[in-house]
Amino acid sequence: MLSEYVLRRRVQFYETDAAGIVHFSWFFRYMEEAEHALWRAAGLSIHPPDSPIGFARASATCDFKRPLRFEDEFDVTIRIAAISRKTIQYSCVMMKDDVTLATGSMTVICVRTEQDGSLKATNVPEEIAARFAVAAQV
């Protein structure tokens, strides 16, 4: 059972603005990239082909502490903060060396696509929930 994963990342030029600083929107992408890496490390895919369920974003936050620049190497640590019947909550910390760059959180809802195309909340399948554990330190 996995409760956290650390993704090592390098800033790409296209992620920066005219000042050479990473645009704020990329921090959300970094969190999502770490989420997908966590799922792969657990032997899963967050959206396998022909899956009847998906994981819609219910909320996402990010608090920025320090800037990131082109070619900076940094780590994104994602942790399972909570799992309920229908949701998974993550906490994230992005660090360069021993300096916190940003902290964030995401909540995803397990959804099923109805025949009319609408989404309806559904229980997280047991075979998925069994691969994850709530982190001891969030």
Q: Which residues are catalytic?
A: 17
Least Cα distance to 63 among 14, 100, 10 occurs for 100
Least Cα distance to 76 among 62, 56, 89 occurs for 62
Distances (CA, A) of 40 to 26, 51, 88: 21, 16, 16
